[in-house]
Structures are given as C-alpha cells and as structure tokens.
Structure 1
Amino acid sequence: MTDLKQRFQTETNLVGAWLSIGHPTVAEVTATRGFDFVLIDTEHTTINLETVENMSRGVDAAEGDTETLVRVPSDDPVRIKRVLDIGVAGIMVPRIETAEAARDVVNAVTYPPNGMRGVASGRAATYGDAFQEYVETADEKITTVVQIETPTGLENVGEIAAVEGIDAVFVGPADLSANLGIFGEWDSDRLDAAIEKVVTAGDEAGIPVGTLVVDPDDIEMRVEQGFDFLIVGKDTSHLSAANERIRTRYEDALARSTAPASNED
C-alpha cells in the first residue's frame, strides 16, 4: 500500500473524516467507510495520547487502507514526538503563521541528523522489532499538514507552502473567519478571497490544500473553490443530525397516526 505522504504528493481528491469522540469504536467504524484517512482532533478535545493510541488501533483493525492523522494542540516538538511514536501516519499542526514556524514543524517530525525528533522504540517501531528500519524510513513516510488560520498566516502562506517537508496546507474556516473578523459569514467575499489565496499558494508550491466540511450542502462549494482534498463531516455532527432526523421522523409518524380521520365521502 502506498503511504499517505506519497498519496498526498501523487493523488488528488483524497477524503478524510474528522474524529472528536475519543473512542476506538468510533474510529474503527469510520475507517470501514472507505476514507483515505481519519483526523483525530486533540486540539479542541479531551482526547489524550493513550486514547489516540487505541483509536489508531481501531483504524488499523478495520478492513481497508484508511490511515490516521492527528491534529496536535500546537507546534510543541515534545507533543509531536510523542504522537508520532504511537505510529500514526502524520500530524496536522494548527495556527502556523510563518515559514520559520513551518520549518520548526518539519524539524520536529524529522529524525537526526536533519531534524530533532527523539529516537525511541515505541509502537511506531513495533516496540523495537523494527527499530532501525523505522528510524531509517520514517522521514520519508510521515505526513505533515499545517493550518492557515490567521491574517499573518494568510499573508505568509506562499512562503509556508513552499517549505520543504510540508505535505499539505489546511484551511481552518471557523478560525480563519473569526480572525478576519467575519466569523460565520461563510458567503463573505473576504473569506472567499482568503481561501483563494491559500489554494493558489498550494498550487504554486505543488502541494494540496484542504478544508473541513461539516454541512454536506457545502461540499460542492468547496470543490468549486479548488480544494484538493476535503475532510467531510464530523463524528459529533453526524451523531447529532442522525438523532434529530430519527426523532423527528418518529414524531411525524405519531402525528399522522393520531390525525383525525377525513370526513370525505
């Protein structure tokens, strides 16, 4: 199987799923649906490293080729190191604003002598059984995605996207709109222009640009905006929408069954 890093480099229209419920069953069930990857969010959730490890096991247990990315809370190299030691396919790092910050992220995911990632024989290295092989090949396989979410990041997105070792750029629409002072104004011309700038920067650097779509009705719009990949849907949103839909259907059925009979002949 081609690893996710290579697929980002050679394929278009990859599709992912967003996971914020910290349970391996949710990860495993999602991975059975044919996604190229799942994204476990540890920035805005209470998911800890042990849970990430078990969710990754859930993804690995599912049939198919789905891989695991983890959104880390920040560009802290210690946190990045510990996540990668779990054996996931890569990371997404929020709020990257400069090329220097992007290079720091690449440095954190890269083993010496070219980087600073600490060497250990954890799950990623099959607990030592594939220690040397993993260390020698990991740099070529770890997927590194950075998020553009601020005006400063937007200003520097061309330089950020051009940093060697950055595999993809991701637009955080909620944070970007908030930081532009237009939170929730999804039809704003300013937000459209910002998105276009990021997409153009990715095209010029030869790396894909993606975003998150929670509302299925927005998928076509994001495709038309030129995004190369999408994370479609979020586990909590799916659960909420499905519960609302089934409860409403039941209430509608009850209403129809108790409606007064027609007096028509």
Structure 2
Amino acid sequence: MDDLYDAVGTWCSLGDPAVAEIAAGGDVDFAVVDTEHAPLGLETVADCLRAVAARDCRSVVRVPWNDPVRIKRLLDLGPDGLLVPMVDDAAAAREAVAATRYPPEGVRGVAAARAADYGRDFESYVADGHRDLSVVVQIEREAAVENAADIAAVDGVDALFVGPADLSTSLGCFPDFGAPEFVAAVEAVLSAGETAGVPVGTLGTTPEGIRSLGSLGIDFLVAGADFTHLVEGQRRAVGTAEDVL
C-alpha cells in the first residue's frame, strides 16, 4: 500500500458491497473490510474488495485472528493490506508476516487466485508481487504496549494500529480515551513506531473521538465506520424531524 503517513481511511463491517463502494468513494485513502467482528463470508469480502477497487481506493482486510489458514484464504482475494488483531509480542508479529510470505520466507500456501489475477500474473506474483502487501498489526492489550518496540522492529511489519476499545478495556478505562493510562500507552506505541520508522494509526468512530485520538500525534486515522455513520446520520435526521414537528 502507499505510504500511510497522514492517510485517512474508513471502516466497512456491513455485508452489502454497495456500502463498501459508497464508503470507498468518500475521499479516503483506504478502506478496511472487517472480518473479525463482522459476519462477512469470503464471497462477500471478495465483492467488497471489488467495490473498493472500483473507486480507485486501497483495500485492507482485517482477519479474524493471527491464523495462517484464515490469513491465506483472505490474501487470495487480493487485498492491498492486512490488519492482524491482538498481536502482543514480536513472535506473534513474525508469525503474521510469515503467513503473508511464500516459502522459503514464510508459510503461505501457493494458489492462482484473484490476488494473482486468476493465474495471469501467477509467476510474478509468487516471485515478487505478494510482498507488496502491507502488514499492519494491532496493539490492543497492555502486553502489546510493553512489547511495542520489539513488535515494530519486526521485519515485514509495515505499521502499528492501536485498537482503542480493546486497549482501553485492557487498561481498565473503557471508553475513556483521555484517561492518563490510555494516553501514556498510546504515547509509548507512538515512540516505538517512530524509533522503528513505522507509522501508527487508530480508529475514531465519532468526530470527537477522531479529534481526541488524532491530537495524540497519530500518523494515520480511520475516520468512522459504515454502521456508525448510519446510526449517527439517522440520529441527526430523526432529531431534526422531532424539532420541527
């Protein structure tokens, strides 16, 4: 994927590819298609990736877990980036990277799938093309914060992503993203990223959350999710209707 510094993304959890197409057309640099906390099957993910690509937008898939089989199946669909949850130490980060690489560098199984243009680019994709994938690992627990420097230094880790809900819960301050312990944790991750030369991003689901998290010095942001836009948009519209009736 292109340089993530100063990039703005969006989040897609709903199952209709039209939603992903609309989201990716909203002047964003990338769109995350979530399979960890969303009921999206492989066929739906493939259609969402096509919809994002149709908007000339970069795609990232969040996998359900740091598992090479699940990662392999999603990578065959051809996203531009991979987001791996709950990476707590350097060993887990190395496992995530290995799952994206073909032997001898990694453990990914070889197939002429969509990622290789159904075989048209098979040889070049296996030789070099698959390395273009961006690997982003999520920092979501206290242990991950403690190990952030080691995680960021792993060869093949392209970015760190703070999961604000899980991290604040781990620290006992959910959903207070201004809590001193949460701010200190984010600052530690940012320091680790700066030392390793990798960007650090996070997700804000409201304008207030985006401002609060962005003010901490975050390098890239996911600005809201499809379902939060729907909920907040409806709330504003209904509130306006109630005001005038």
TM-score (normalizing by structure 1): 0.90
> Would you say 1:239 and 2:230 are equivalent positions?
yes
**Residue 180 of structure 1: how far off its partner (Å):** 1.2
Displacement of 1:248: 1.5
Aligned partner of residue 222 in structure 1, secondary structure: helix
Alignment pair present for 1:138 and 2:132: no
SS of corresponding position for 1:164: coil
Deviations 1:100-120 (A, max 9, x none): 110011100011111111110
1:30 equivalent to 2:23? Answer: yes
* Residue deviations 1:97-147 (CA, integer Å, cap 9, x gap): 110110011100011111111110011111111111111223431110000
**How many residue pairs were aligned?**
245
- Shift of the alpha carbon at 1:21? 0.4
Residue in structure 2 matching 1:150, options 141, 144, 163: 141
Give the CA deviation at 1:32. Answer: 1.1
The residue that corresponds to 1:48 in the other structure is: 41
Q: State the secondary structure of the residue aligned to 1:244.
A: helix
| Displacement after TM superposition at 1:224 (Å) | 2.2
Answering whether residue 200 of structure 2 is matched by residue 202 of structure 1, we say: no
Pick the structure with greater CA Rg: 1
Give, in whole Å, the separation in 1 of the partners of 2:236 and 2:211: 23
- 3-state SS in 2 of match to 1:225: coil
**Structure 2 counterpart of 1:7:** 3
Q: Which runs of 5+ in 2 are unaligned?
A: none
Asked if the contact 2:203/2:210 (under 8 Å) is kept, the reply is no
Cα separation, 1, equivalents of 2:19 and 2:131: 29
- Structure 2 length-normalised TM: 0.97
Q: Counterparts in 2 of 1:35-184, with a 5 A limit?
A: 35-62=28-55, 64=56, 66-184=57-175
SS where residue 128 of structure 2 aligns? helix
**SS at 1:44 equivalent:** coil
Distance 1:115 1:136 in 2: 13
Q: Percent identity?
A: 47
Structure 1 residues 217-260: Cα deviation after superposition (integer angstroms, max 9, x where no partner): 23233222111000001110100111111112112112xxxxxx
Distance 2:160 2:120 in 1: 34
1:177-198 C-alpha deviation (Å, 9 max, x unpaired): 1111121122210011001000
Q: Which runs of 4+ in 1 moved over 6 A?
A: none
Question: Cα RMSD (Å) of the superposition?
Answer: 1.1
- Counterparts of residues 246-261 of structure 1 (less than 5 Å): 246-254=237-245
Give the match's secondary structure for 2:65: coil
